[in-house]
Amino acid sequence: MENESGALSRVAGLFSARGYNIESLTVAPTEDATLSRMTIVTRGSADVIEQITKQLNKLVDVVKVQDLTDGSHIERELMLVKVRATGDQREEIKRLTDIFRGRILDVSDKTYTIELTGRGSKLDSFLEAVDPTAILETVRTGASGIGRGDRIMKI
Amino acid sequence: MADLELTGAEIVVSCLRDEGVKHLFGYPGGAVLNIYDEIYKQSAFKHILVRHEQAAVHAADAYARATGEVGVAIVTSGPGATNAVTGIATAYMDSIPMVVISGQVPTAAIGQDAFQEVDMVGITRPCVKHNFLVRDVRDLAVTIKKAFYIAATGRPGPVVVDVPKDVTQHRCVYDYPKSVSMRSYNPTSKGHTGQIKKAAQMLLEAKRPMIYTGGGVILGNAAAQVIELVRLLGFPATSTLMGLGGYPSPDPLFLGMLGMHGTIEANMAMQHCDVLLAVGARFDDRVIGNPKHFAKEARRIIHIDVDPSSISKRVRVDVPIVGDVAQVLDEVIKLLQADKAKPEEQALKAWWAQIELWRAQDCLKYDRAAAVIKPQFVIEKLYEVTKGDAYVTSDVGQHQMWAAQYYQFDKPRRWINSGGLGTMGFGLPAAMGVQMAFPDAMVACVTGEGSIQMNIQELSTCKEWNLPLKVILLNNGYLGMVRQWQQFFYEERYAESYMNSLPDFVKLADAYGHVGITIDKPEDVEPALRDAFGKYKDRLVFLNFLTDPRENVFPMIPAGKGLSEMILV
């Protein structure tokens, strides 16, 4: 979409005005500074998805819409999670982080701050694996997606 | 060489001039004073000062509906802008091409809760085709060009250009682009050839065909194509409220309006057809009622529309064709003319026989011998006296439905009403807009005593411009459509639908410098109308018809019911 002020609120406003749900939404400028790329995760029947696609295309700031789930694609989400890490737990959480291929970005005497990337379901699994009382704070970006192989969306 | 630099205010006025704008409807205020100073100095277009910003937008909207050009309005920031919002939403719901210029507080003050500040771009976002906030005078001309381009192309709609006051003072070289292209906005005009072939084939296979046309036929200037297609095939045709005039109403192939207050023949044929061609229409709730009920009967549907999101939104369509309706219909007609095959004559005959049975129920009959004035009678007489040649604007309610049912529109762009948003207060300013566009035309505003009071102050604007429009007030003392619903669905509990302290409309008209007449007997209806369009041809005449307070609009499909579930009388 055009990298214009207000473009994001047009998209968000469309979803709320027409009663579509947004599970997540990410947006940032691309290598072409006049364009932003947005990934929206939403749910609905085929009819609803068709309407969402058409309505998005109708927004003047939207240059192109692609349903990534029409073909094979990759999606990734970044999560930062701060957990209580004391005593035996310190080693346990470090191990768990390694299993999930996460990284510990920040360490204090009582906490770890962990970075984890993957599909949303992988991030969910990590959170389920950690003792819930140890989780102090989580921040998730929502999914960013891209087509696999030669499937390219370029203006 | 140094090009001449203009101020932002001069640029706004130059853009409008270079865009060919002839009439600008508006109301001044602090944020637009620089622009008004330039309006004062120019003579390329007229500025019509309204008495409330809502009226400026409705007038510009109706101007667009009647002429096909882009309507233009200008308002100041804050309350001027919010007053314009109802007008903008009205135009949005009916896809009317319009550009609204709104003043804004200086860029440095934006976000500071400044005097008369409102986030106009934010507040109008859900009810515009697009909007802009111009932060740099160098973007002003190209933004206004884009606004006109977006408003008029594809599925038309209103575009707001919000201009901060300091931008109207800053200077830059003025260069109005001749054309503009946008990578993110490219409306489709040519329909898909394969789909058009399929559509033509399907029409030829029809045994019980129906052609259903909407406001898109008017907006897309496709009335000639609709007429040609309907007559070529001999198929029955109906129209939505917004499409009236797209096909001549008096023609026997026309079954009248369909929908909540449509005719039996139109609604039944719509329900029971086997092939339906929808042109520039959107199957909305007032047209097909309950989509589940509509889907009970199997039929194949061809849908031509310029807006892909209108297709398969409420009703699944078999052959979608996205494109300019006139262009697509031209293609369909060409194919049908080249094809030797004709629709099956026997089947079509049987279908028409069925339709004539429905039509014979004469669902629009009413008591013509009544001692009180029947509202339907007033509209029929209006049609006779104006020989069907008037521009008829309306407000919203029973009078609107009677005007739609009983004025036999036979040309496009003559019936001007708020169909989508249903805005009371639309009729009078709309009539002003039409009369400004066509000073010599007969313009009638059919209204109710509720609606007319929602923008009655415009009688003053009409005086200033000597607009000889006629107000046809069907005064039944009730908010009639509300009363009708209360009678049918709320066990006659008439909550707040009676107005028992109405003004003396004759004195009111007189106070504004116009002619007011009250008519309370059926035999006086026609003479009063003749006077209005004859003796008082050059005056605004306010005709206060005291009509039957208990009359209802029939047929009626209750909300949520299906097309074949009409209440008849």
Per-residue pLDDT of chain B (569 residues; tens, 9 = 90+): 467 899 999 999 999 999 999 999 999 999 999 999 999 999 999 999 999 999 999 999 999 999 999 999 999 999 999 999 999 999 999 999 999 999 999 999 999 999 999 999 999 999 999 999 999 999 999 999 999 999 999 999 999 999 999 999 999 999 999 999 999 999 989 999 999 999 999 999 999 999 999 999 999 999 999 999 999 999 999 999 999 999 999 999 999 999 999 999 999 999 999 999 999 999 999 999 999 999 999 999 999 999 999 999 999 999 999 999 999 999 999 999 998 889 999 999 999 999 999 999 999 999 999 999 999 999 999 999 999 999 999 999 999 999 999 999 999 999 999 999 999 999 999 999 999 999 999 999 999 999 999 999 999 999 999 999 999 999 999 999 999 999 999 999 999 998 788 999 999 999 999 999 999 999 999 999 999 999 999 999 999 999 999 999 999 999 999 999 999 87
Sheet holding B275-279: strands in order across? B254-257, B237-239, B209-213, B275-279, B300-305, B319-322
Residue B150's alpha-carbon distances to B62, B134, B138, B175, B470, in angstroms, are 18, 16, 20, 19, 34
Considering only CB atoms, which chain A residues are within 8 Å of B183? 63, 155
Task: Decide if B182 touches A, using CB distance below 8 A.
Answer: yes
Specify whether the CB–CB gap between B519 and B546 falls below 8 A. yes
For helices B345-359 and B264-272, the axis angle rounded to 10 degrees is 140
**Cβ contacts of residue B490 below 8 Å, gap of 6+?**
none
Q: What is the pLDDT of residue A154?
A: 84
Q: What is the pLDDT of residue B2?
A: 61
Residues of B belonging to the active site: 53, 115-116, 165, 481
Structure tokens of B423?
A: 């805005």
Q: Suggest the residue from A58, A61, A62, A154 to mutate for an interface test with chain B (most B CBs closer than 10 A).
A: A58
Say how far apart CA B263 and CA B316 lie, in whole Å. Answer: 24
In this complex, do B126 and A17 lie within 8 Å of one another by their Cβ atoms? yes
Task: Decide if A55 touches B, using CB distance below 8 A.
Answer: yes
Considering only CB atoms, which chain B residues are within 8 Å of A7? none
**Strands (DSSP E) found in B458-532:** 470-475, 515-519
Structure tokens of B220?
A: 């897309």
Interface of A with B in 61-120 (CB under 8 A): 61-63
In this complex, do B130 and A1 lie within 8 Å of one another by their Cβ atoms? no
Q: Suggest the residue from A14, A54, A59 to mutate for an interface test with chain B (most B CBs closer than 10 A).
A: A54
Query: What would the DSSP string read from start to end of B394-438?
Result: E-SSHHHHHHHHHS---STT-EE---SS--TT-HHHHHHHHHHH-
Radius of gyration of chain B (CA): 24
Specify whether the CB–CB gap between B36 and B203 falls below 8 A. no
Task: Decide if A12 touches B, using CB distance below 8 A.
Answer: no
In this complex, do B307 and A62 lie within 8 Å of one another by their Cβ atoms? no
| Number of neighbouring beta carbons within 10 Å of residue B67 | 17
ipTM score of complex: 0.92
In this complex, do A2 and B125 lie within 8 Å of one another by their Cβ atoms? no
Query: What would the DSSP string read from start to end of B358-384?
Result: HHTT-TT---TT-SSBPHHHHHHHHHH
**Cβ contacts of residue A127 below 8 Å, gap of 6+?**
A81, A135, A138
Nearest CA in chain A to B306: A58
Q: What is the pLDDT of residue A119?
A: 95
Considering only CB atoms, which chain A residues are within 8 Å of B126? 13, 17
Q: What is the pLDDT of residue B3?
A: 76
Q: What is the pLDDT of residue B499?
A: 79
What is the distance of C-alpha B451 from the center of its chain?
16
* pLDDT over 60 (residue A115): yes
Start-to-end CA distance of chain A, whole Å, equals 10
Task: Decide if A19 touches B, using CB distance below 8 A.
Answer: no
Q: Residue B66 corresponds to which amino acid?
A: A
In this complex, do A17 and B182 lie within 8 Å of one another by their Cβ atoms? no
| Number of neighbouring beta carbons within 10 Å of residue A38 | 16
Nearest CA in chain B to A4: B132
Task: Decide if B133 touches A, using CB distance below 8 A.
Answer: yes
Specify whether the CB–CB gap between A1 and A35 falls below 8 A. yes
Specify whether the CB–CB gap between B302 and B319 falls below 8 A. yes
In this complex, do A54 and B309 lie within 8 Å of one another by their Cβ atoms? yes
Alpha-carbon distance B239 to nearest alpha carbon in chain A (angstroms): 25
Alpha-carbon distance B182 to nearest alpha carbon in chain A (angstroms): 9
Nearest CA in chain B to A48: B313
Specify whether the CB–CB gap between B228 and B238 falls below 8 A. no
In this complex, do B150 and A60 lie within 8 Å of one another by their Cβ atoms? yes
User: pLDDT tens digit string along A119-138?
Assistant: 999 999 999 999 999 999 99
* Candidate from B122, B184, B312 with C-beta closest to A61: B184
Say how far apart CA B263 and CA A100 lie, in whole Å. Answer: 67
Nearest CA in chain B to A13: B126
In this complex, do A155 and B313 lie within 8 Å of one another by their Cβ atoms? no
Task: Decide if A57 touches B, using CB distance below 8 A.
Answer: yes
Eight-class DSSP state of B548: -
Pairing state between β B391-394 and B275-279: unpaired
Considering only CB atoms, which chain B residues are within 8 Å of A54? 308-309
Tell me the three state secondary structure of residue B469.
coil
Task: Decide if B308 touches A, using CB distance below 8 A.
Answer: yes
Specify whether the CB–CB gap between B205 and B272 falls below 8 A. no
Q: What is the pLDDT of residue B139?
A: 97
Alpha-carbon distance B445 to nearest alpha carbon in chain A (angstroms): 33
Residue B221 burial (C-beta neighbours within 10 Å; 0-12, 13-18, 19+): middle
Q: Which H or E element spans position B103? A: strand B98-104
In this complex, do B183 and A63 lie within 8 Å of one another by their Cβ atoms? yes
Tell me the three state secondary structure of residue B48.
strand
Q: Residue B445 corresponds to which amino acid?
A: C
Q: What is the pLDDT of residue B4?
A: 87
Q: Residue B303 corresponds to which amino acid?
A: H
Pairing state between β B415-416 and B391-394: parallel
Radius of gyration of chain A (CA): 19
For helices B398-406 and B480-489, the axis angle rounded to 10 degrees is 100
Specify whether the CB–CB gap between B378 and B403 falls below 8 A. no
* Candidate from A1, A5, A51 with C-beta closest to B309: A51
Residue B194 burial (C-beta neighbours within 10 Å; 0-12, 13-18, 19+): exposed
Structure tokens of B189?
A: 């005009």
In this complex, do A47 and B312 lie within 8 Å of one another by their Cβ atoms? yes
